[in-house]
Structure 1
Amino acid sequence: MQHPFRLKAVAALFAAGALPFAPAGHAAEAPGTTAAGPAAAPAGTSAGAPAAEAASAIIVSGSRVEHSSFDFPAAIDVICAERIRDSQMRVNASEALASVPGLAAQNRQNYAQDLQISSRGFGARSAFGVRGVKLIADGIPASMPDGQGQAATFNLDMAERIEVLRGPFSAVYGNHAGGVVQLFTREGEGAPTLETTLSAGSDGARKVDVNAQGKSGGIGYVLDASRFDTDGYRDHSAARRDQAYAKLTLAPGSGSKLTITASGLRQDNTQDPLGVAWATWRRNPRAGETDTTDTAAVKRTFAERYNTRKSIDHQQIGAAWEQQLGDSKLRVTAYGGNRQVIQYQAFSRAFQAPASHSGGVVDFDRDFSGADISWVDVRALSGGRLTTTAGIEYGRSKDDRKGYENFSGAEPGVKGKLRRDETDEVSSTDPYLQTEWAQGPWVLNAGLRHSRFKVEVGDRYLSNGNDSGGLRYSRSTPVAGLLYKLSPVLNVYASAARGFETPTLNELFYSGSGGGFNFGLQPARSTHAEAGVKAQLGGGTRIDAAVFQVKTTGELVVDAASGGRTSYRNASKTLRRGAEVSAETRFEHGFSARVALTALRAVYDQAFGSVLKGSRLPGVPNAYAYGELAWQSPSRGLGAAVETVASARVYAEDSNKEQAAPGYTLVNLRLTAQQDAGGWRFKQFARLNNAVDRAYVGSVIVGDTNKRYFEGAPGRNWQLGAGAQYQF
């Protein structure tokens, strides 16, 4: 009988050199373990802080109120500011998230499609952006009401910490939350400071960032603007990204706090390199797939021939008001924004010919808004403390969406005839209730959320039939957790929940035949269970461990994917079983070590079509490891580290019959330095990624009909950065 947690796979990663030090006798940390603490350091505290200090870390994910991470019955990791900002270009959140167990954050080397993030296998099938994992920034959703989000909207330059919640308690964030990644930016404090950072790297990567922060007249302010350019590692993958961010915090009255945030993201004509077949990747990891039907004298790749690209213009503003009333609190959050996208996909003329197809150019203008109102009540009960949160969350988006042929005359890559014209409206209304009772060594948590999800389609392009219509889904998702404090340094816990995952708007757009809206697609339903241990060993070691199981009915899977268009269907039952371990330890003379291990067996638990029972879910590695050995000398302002990342192979389609992306082990090196002189502070960093120049597939496009699954990752590459800050 096969071991459900595949611990042998993790052992194999150790044997392959996944960690830079022998694990025997050493506990390490997961780069941001907040569920237990090490990386869940309070604002301004290093992720490498001693365990005793980190155990008091305060988190809000899962409980929605400030809470000691050590005493909460869930797997939560926290990545601190230094880890996010001091040793990377701060372009992709995947760089900071690499050290979180249970989370796979893959850089596609494709800024048109953004990162691929999955939590315990949820979200791995996403053809672009992030779905199945809820994204939140400063308490405001970075995911749309249908569950689709873009990690590119995160402002990493001003990040204070990132909390990553996995497991049953993710259900309290809505029907599409298989996990939660929540970003918190810094607040303006103290005397004004002005800072700039310049960084550069391989493949023409370069970034400039300018920010200011401070507090004056009781108003804290943070302002940031940046520009990032890259020629791209893969052919036809150049990009420019402009970001802007502003945050104001003030106290209008006694016990009150108002936070206002505004952000913008702009990417013009970001090139899309598309995926390639196995033989093409083996020949040249940078190359695109050649279009053999091209009539030009020199045949071009699909990306070149159709000039695949995407332009994004995204702005939003939000406000959060908190009013403290004794031990209780009222919180009101509201937000709104606009997102405009034009995307050119690689559709051939032959594929576009039928009138039922919507064309290879996607063009939409989206307005979105939402609100969340909650009341937190705190009182004594039966010798303990009862904290209850009751609230309601609402979200809405409305698209004016058009589709065009991706050719005009004889040449593709140009907006052609209209093929789609419709209005798509999505809304969700979710009342929720959470409560926690803590008394002595016991902490009991319970919650209930009722999700009501609605989609309305108004079709204006009627020459191929009328696709107007609507869908409504609803379900209640309960969650419960129990934690017991065996001693002041050892906690055990268990939790369980029911989950509800509705299709996103993009998953509903096409039916399997390539025709219109897929009104037959149904939500997936899941049951989650988790048990874990949180421990402190001595004064400098933290260990978190969890085992989990998820059973899903009606799993949403890729039906067909070609040229950027993907259709979905409901499959059979799936089963996910796994184990996660994260640890941190500190040695003498400034040395520390961290480790994060994941073993995950994610399979179809019931056959469907040509897919056999026991086939692995595509896009999900069955083992993943991160290890780090670091040295820090605060007195000298110097730091250095060796990082290793290892992943098992990844299948790209449901039957597991096609070539899988092989497993890999990478070694990264980093150096940091800091100097202070009067009101000035100078920082520098250098990184050498993939130091042994390993060729590997960074991510896969799940279920691509043309078998162009693979997205190559860079070989040996470098980054350098320098920053200067002045405090007035």
Structure 2
Amino acid sequence: MTRLSAFFFILTMSFFFSQKKDTAVLISEVRIDAYKKQVPFMASTKSVAVVSENLLGLNPPERLLEAVNQIAGARMEERSPASYRISIRGSTLRSPFGVRNIKVYLDDFILSDASGNTYFNVISPRLIDRMEIYKGPESGDYGAVTGGTVLLQTRSSDHLSAGISIGSYGTFEQNFDIARQEGKHFFELFQNYYQADSYREQSAVKRKQIYLKDRFTYTPGASLNAILLLSDLDYETPGGLTLKQMESDRKQARPSAGSLPGAKEQHAGIRNKMVLAGISHETAINSHFSHFLLVQGSYVDFKNPFITNFENRFERNFALRTHFNFEKNWDHISLAWRLGFEGGTQNILVKNYNNNKGIQGNPQNFDQLKNNSGFYFLSQKLNFNEKLFTDISVSLNSNSYEWERIYPVSEEGRVKFKKQWLPNIGITYLLGRGFSVRGKAGKGNSAPTSEEIRSSNQEFNADLVPEYGWNKEIGIRKEFGNAVFIEGSYFDFRMKDAIVRRQNESGQEYFANQGNIAQKGVEILLESKSFNLKNDLFSSFKFRLSGSFYDFKFKNYKQLDNDFSENEVTGVPKTSLSSLFNFVFFKKLSIDYSHYYTSKIPLNDANSVWSESSLVGNIRLGFPVQIDRAQLNIHLQIQNLYNTEYVAGFDINAFGNRFYNPAAKRNFMFGANVEF
């Protein structure tokens, strides 16, 4: 079956299927999960943002960038299709690719490995029903990170859908999702296929994914949960360009330079096959006590033909999480305690060969790396008269690793970092209905990941130490007449021993602890409910505006004879603004009109090179076709509406000034989704 005929097959099938839920609520009306500690958003002590269905609908099928970038304090970057970074309050300083310094959970299960690295790009955006983004260190329930925590949630109610999309640059995507309650079982089966040639040379993508879960409530108050994630991701990496190269030809891959071949010649890319399986059990012991236990494992087969070598990496991961919970309510006081442990271990075998135009050549280095990490945590929630809410936690965190060089010489070593006590306290007070103020203080700690300990220069860096620091913030939330919600927060985070990325002349990366960083910022959100205009032509309207205003500076930062103290922190824009306007015409035609503005960005620690500011607009048109109980949702997306020449993800501190990864110019996506 051709792509076009498959597309029209889905269109035809749609006339037999069902219906979409309403999402026209203010964020102040939702409850956040906070890993099984639900609380109304207005009463939460945390700096948290919810990415719900209306924001997730902004994404094209390959990425979550458009939705994440609507969140004040969060920024998702795309160096090339399928190569993403997530920054929470500037946390990509040490991430050339992938997600580091941010803890990621998928439903109950832990997507981050024991060293702190997360293969976020193996997850299809179509799988995610909701996200919660926690900004800054949380410690307690989530352990040692300084950036933040992301909770990805899949379906929790009956759903059956199938969809297909086609678009610019050879894009084709197909998905199927069924979630259903059958007796004591709630199961979900999700399948997705995506491929694209993409905008630049050497940037094609192909991803296949299957996700299975089953929640078996075998008795009231007790359930057994299981998941299985299978992902096969293959994408090419075009590499960074200099400014002159980008201005000459935005679509080209990194060309050869001297004795170094280019990305296309070397067939540079990533091939990542991943299996994640886990099982969890939760039970209510009595009316006050409950217990949770999770065991999971994963295997990763990772291949990376690069300019200078061909890397094979085989990873085995195991993780455990358990906690006891106590809850009790009195007339005017409610109390919740949690005592638990989360830990993981990771074994990695890395083999580097010469890269002979995409084929393994002679061996270079074979290494073994083992990471162990874990934390004990104790947290308490105390609620006085539904007015004063407190959230106090502490965790004791440990991290160590062992390394061994197998070839061409034999050597080994072991590094154990000092255990860290990480306290966290948050207080929220409701001044009235729909009006709260909050304060928060917490310590974060983030150890080097496996890819920083043994980076692409194939050297073990036993001198790296964890970065750490204290974060303090205050915030206000106010709802006006159940129609408009506003939130503002100010934070001051002082990081010590910040880990910074470097590149050598071959483009290989390495990392170093470089001084301290002062991170101060203001984040704002203004959103409305959906206003029913009671007009057949212009039926309803809602809006969302958010912004981040940062003052991030290096402190006591010297590199050889250079003093970078008081320089702006690399890769972090001072100002980010986003907007989303939703219009509904004829009670049917939905138009999402969104913008994302980024101010200029320092591209190296010396602040000698800066990016240009950029404004990117997108528009999405959706039209439902309803017949009986069936609904077909047809959509047309225009990305980069104004044909802006911009970069969605820079290579910071790149050797030879190869900072630039040009993003696609105006492009289109047309698709249909049927919900049964």
- SS of the residue corresponding to residue 281 of structure 1 reads helix
The equivalent residue for 1:353 is: none
Where do residues 578-617 of structure 1 align in structure 2 (5 Å cutoff)? Answer: 578-586=521-529, 587-589=531-533, 590-609=540-559, 610-617=562-569
Task: Report the CA distance between 1:45 and its aligned residue.
Answer: 6.5
Code of the aligned partner of 1:546: S
The equivalent residue for 2:47 is: 75
- SS of the residue corresponding to residue 112 of structure 2 reads coil
- SS of the residue corresponding to residue 365 of structure 1 reads strand
From the two aligned structures, give the one with the greater strand fraction: 2
Code of the aligned partner of 2:237: D
- SS of the residue corresponding to residue 99 of structure 2 reads coil
Aligned equivalents of 1:227, 1:233: Cα separation in 2: 19
Where do residues 311-350 of structure 1 align in structure 2 (5 Å cutoff)? Answer: 311-324=271-284, 325-347=286-308
- SS of the residue corresponding to residue 128 of structure 1 reads coil
Q: 1:135 to 1:430 in 2, by over 3 A?
A: same
- SS of the residue corresponding to residue 545 of structure 1 reads strand
The equivalent residue for 1:93 is: 64
The equivalent residue for 1:711 is: 661
The equivalent residue for 1:248 is: 214
The equivalent residue for 2:182 is: 216
- SS of the residue corresponding to residue 700 of structure 1 reads coil
The equivalent residue for 2:593 is: 642
Where do residues 105-124 of structure 1 align in structure 2 (5 Å cutoff)? Answer: 105-111=76-82, 114-124=83-93
Deviation digits for residues 253-299 of structure 1 (CA, Å, limit 9, x no counterpart): 1211222111111024x21101111111122222223214369xxxx
Aligned equivalents of 1:128, 1:561: Cα separation in 2: 16
Equivalent in 378, 381, 404 of residue 458 of structure 1: 404
Deviation digits for residues 617-646 of structure 1 (CA, Å, limit 9, x no counterpart): 11111110111221136x833311211110
The equivalent residue for 1:620 is: 572
Q: 1:566 to 1:471 in 2, by over 3 A?
A: farther
Aligned equivalents of 2:620, 2:139: Cα separation in 1: 33
Equivalent in 345, 350, 353 of residue 401 of structure 1: 350
Aligned equivalents of 1:654, 1:498: Cα separation in 2: 25
Matched, 1:195 2:144: no
Code of the aligned partner of 1:640: I
Aligned equivalents of 1:364, 1:167: Cα separation in 2: 31
Q: 1:660 to 1:331 in 2, by over 3 A?
A: same
Equivalent in 339, 348, 352 of residue 390 of structure 1: 339
- SS of the residue corresponding to residue 570 of structure 2 reads coil
Task: Report the CA distance between 1:686 and its aligned residue.
Answer: 0.9
Aligned equivalents of 2:136, 2:442: Cα separation in 1: 9
Aligned equivalents of 2:522, 2:657: Cα separation in 1: 31
Code of the aligned partner of 2:442: A
Aligned equivalents of 1:686, 1:604: Cα separation in 2: 44
Deviation digits for residues 414-454 of structure 1 (CA, Å, limit 9, x no counterpart): 21111222221111121001101110221121100111111
Aligned equivalents of 1:291, 1:613: Cα separation in 2: 35
The equivalent residue for 1:19 is: none
Is the 2:139–2:395 Cα contact (8 Å) retained in structure 1? Answer: no
Is the 1:74–1:167 Cα contact (8 Å) retained in structure 2? Answer: no
The equivalent residue for 2:6 is: none
Code of the aligned partner of 1:319: I
Task: Report the CA distance between 1:315 and its aligned residue.
Answer: 0.8
Question: Unaligned regions of 5+ residues in structure 1, if any?
Answer: 1-43, 296-300, 348-359
Q: 1:632 to 1:319 in 2, by over 3 A?
A: farther
Q: 1:562 to 1:165 in 2, by over 3 A?
A: farther
Code of the aligned partner of 2:73: G
Task: Report the CA distance between 1:470 and its aligned residue.
Answer: 3.5
Matched, 1:449 2:395: yes
Aligned equivalents of 2:522, 2:550: Cα separation in 1: 7
Aligned equivalents of 1:561, 1:322: Cα separation in 2: 49
Code of the aligned partner of 2:269: R
TM-score (norm 2): 0.92
The equivalent residue for 1:34 is: none
Matched, 1:435 2:380: yes
Aligned equivalents of 1:88, 1:498: Cα separation in 2: 33
Aligned equivalents of 2:66, 2:152: Cα separation in 1: 14
Aligned equivalents of 1:694, 1:56: Cα separation in 2: 36
Task: Report the CA distance between 1:168 and its aligned residue.
Answer: 4.0
- SS of the residue corresponding to residue 665 of structure 1 reads strand
TM-score (norm 1): 0.85
Equivalent in 196, 201, 204 of residue 238 of structure 1: 204
Deviation digits for residues 231-250 of structure 1 (CA, Å, limit 9, x no counterpart): 01111101111111111122
Aligned equivalents of 2:364, 2:384: Cα separation in 1: 63
Is the 2:140–2:393 Cα contact (8 Å) retained in structure 1? Answer: no
Code of the aligned partner of 2:190: D
Task: Report the CA distance between 1:561 and its aligned residue.
Answer: 4.6
Divergent runs of 4+, >4 A: 44-47, 380-383, 561-564
Equivalent in 130, 154, 161 of residue 161 of structure 1: 130
The equivalent residue for 1:654 is: 605
Is the 2:494–2:519 Cα contact (8 Å) retained in structure 1? Answer: yes
Equivalent in 424, 446, 454 of residue 509 of structure 1: 454
- SS of the residue corresponding to residue 264 of structure 2 reads helix
Task: Report the CA distance between 1:320 and its aligned residue.
Answer: 2.2
Equivalent in 654, 664, 667 of residue 617 of structure 2: 667
Aligned equivalents of 1:383, 1:576: Cα separation in 2: 39
Task: Report the CA distance between 1:178 and its aligned residue.
Answer: 1.2
Code of the aligned partner of 1:59: I
Q: 1:140 to 1:699 in 2, by over 3 A?
A: same
Aligned equivalents of 2:185, 2:280: Cα separation in 1: 15
Question: Unaligned regions of 5+ residues in structure 2, if any?
Answer: 1-19, 534-539
Is the 1:481–1:494 Cα contact (8 Å) retained in structure 2? Answer: yes
Matched, 1:556 2:499: yes
Matched, 1:102 2:102: no
Q: 1:563 to 1:257 in 2, by over 3 A?
A: farther
Is the 1:168–1:530 Cα contact (8 Å) retained in structure 2? Answer: no
Code of the aligned partner of 1:115: Y
Aligned equivalents of 2:221, 2:636: Cα separation in 1: 44
Is the 2:78–2:85 Cα contact (8 Å) retained in structure 1? Answer: yes
Is the 1:547–1:579 Cα contact (8 Å) retained in structure 2? Answer: yes
Equivalent in 252, 257, 269 of residue 287 of structure 1: 252
Q: What is the number of residues matched between the two proteins?
A: 646
Code of the aligned partner of 2:555: D
Code of the aligned partner of 1:585: S
Deviation digits for residues 684-720 of structure 1 (CA, Å, limit 9, x no counterpart): 1111121111101111112112221111111111111
Q: 1:393 to 1:327 in 2, by over 3 A?
A: same
